Structure 1
Amino acid sequence: MSSSLTPRRTVLLGLIGLAGCGFAPIYGADTGLRGRVAFETDESVAGFRLREELEKRLGRSAAPEYVLKTTVRSSQRAAAITSEGDTSRFNIVGAAKWSLIVLDDGNQIDGGEVEAFTSYSATGSTNATQATRDDAEARVAVILADLIVSRVLIRAAELN
C-alpha cells in the first residue's frame, strides 16, 4: 500500500514545485508569438507543407511583428534492398534553414537548421508506393515544423 503512495506523492510534490517556480507550458494558447508571425517558405510542395504546419502551431497573422523565413530541401535514399537488387524501403531526409526576423528593423532574432527523416515502403503497387511516399513527405514537414517552433518558442520565452 505504501509503495503505491510514494510515486503519487512524488508526482504531486513535483507539480507543486513546478507551479512555484513560474513554470508555464510553452505550447499554451498565449505563447507570446501566436498570431504575430508571418511565414515565408519555398514555392514548392515541401515549402507549402512546412508553412501549413507552422501556421497550425503559431497561427496566421493579420498584423505580423515577425517573419519566419524558411528554406526546405529534401532527398530520398534507398534504405533496404532485396537480394534481387530491388529497393523495398526508402528514407526521405528533410532539412530546413530558418530565421526569425523582426519586421520593424530587420534584425534577426534567431536562426538555425533542423533535420529530420522518415521512411516508407516501396513493396506495394505504384499507387500504394506513391501514397506512402506522399505520407512520408508530409510526416517530415510535421517533424521539421515541430523542431523549428520549439526553438522559436524557447527563444521567444528567453526574450520576455
Structure 2
Amino acid sequence: MWLPDRRTLLLSLAALTGCGFTPVYGPQGGGTKLLNAVALDEPTDRDSYDFNQRFEERLGRGIGPYQLKVSTAVTSKGLGSLADGQTTRYRLTGWATYTLSPVGVDEVLVSGRTSSFTAYSATGSTVATQTSERDAYRRLMVILADQVVDRLLLEADTLSE
C-alpha cells in the first residue's frame, strides 16, 4: 500500500523540479528582493491602515528601494431586505490599484488592479451592525493586500537588484 503512494510523491516532486518550479523565497526565487524593501505611503484612513498593516505582515516594513502606491475604492450594496424594506445584508466590493516604482523615480516596474468582495449582516443591534460593517471593511482590505502581495511576488523575479 505504501509503495504506490511513495512513487506518486516522488514522481510529483520530480515533475515539479523538471518544470522549472522555484519557491518564491528560495535561493533562486525573486521574493527575497521584496522582503523589507517596499515602502508604503502613510495611511490616511482606516482602510489604508488595515491594508498597510496586512501588507507589512507579509513583506515587512520597508524603507526602499521600492515604493508602492496604492489606491483603494469600496462600494456597498444592499442584498437582502425584510417586508418593511429594511436592508438585512450588505455586500462590499473593493478594488486596489497599485504601482511599484523605485524610490524617487517615476518609472513603473509593476502595476495592476485587483478586486474582491465580502459581506456583512445588518440584522442585529446598531452597535452589532456597525461592528460587522467595520469588520467587513477590515477583511476586505486584508484580502486586497494579500492579492497585491501575491501579484508582486509573482513579478519579483523580473525586478532589478
Task: Give the structure-1-normalised TM-score.
Answer: 0.86
Aligned residue identity for 1:60: R
Partners of 1:118 and 1:149 in 2: CA distance = 19
The aligned length equals 157
Task: Write out aligned runs for 1:1-160 (5 A).
Answer: 1=1, 6-26=4-24, 31-40=32-41, 43-61=44-62, 63-103=63-103, 105-159=105-159
Residues 50 and 144, structure 1, Cα contact 8 Å, conserved in 2: yes
What is the CA-CA distance between 1:81 and the residue it aligns to? 1.5
Partners of 2:143 and 2:45 in 1: CA distance = 17
Aligned residue identity for 2:152: V
Q: Deviations over 1:18-55 (max 9, x none)?
A: 24555333266963210111012651211111111111
Partners of 2:71 and 2:61 in 1: CA distance = 19
What is the CA-CA distance between 1:67 and the residue it aligns to? 0.4
What is the CA-CA distance between 1:73 and the residue it aligns to? 1.2
RMSD: 2.3
Q: Structure 1 residues 72 and 41 mapped into 2: Cα distance closer, same or farther (>3 Å)?
A: farther
| Bigger relative contact order (CA 8 A; separation at least 6) | 2
Residues 33 and 156, structure 1, Cα contact 8 Å, conserved in 2: yes
What is the CA-CA distance between 1:90 and the residue it aligns to? 0.4
Residues 50 and 138, structure 2, Cα contact 8 Å, conserved in 1: yes
Give the SS at the match of 1:108: coil
Task: Give the structure-2-normalised TM-score.
Answer: 0.85
5+ long unaligned stretches in structure 2: none
Moved over 3 A (4+): 4-8, 19-22, 27-30
5+ long unaligned stretches in structure 1: none
Percent identity over paired residues? 38
Q: Structure 1 residues 89 and 5 mapped into 2: Cα distance closer, same or farther (>3 Å)?
A: farther
Q: Structure 1 residues 109 and 138 mapped into 2: Cα distance closer, same or farther (>3 Å)?
A: same
Residues 109 and 159, structure 2, Cα contact 8 Å, conserved in 1: no
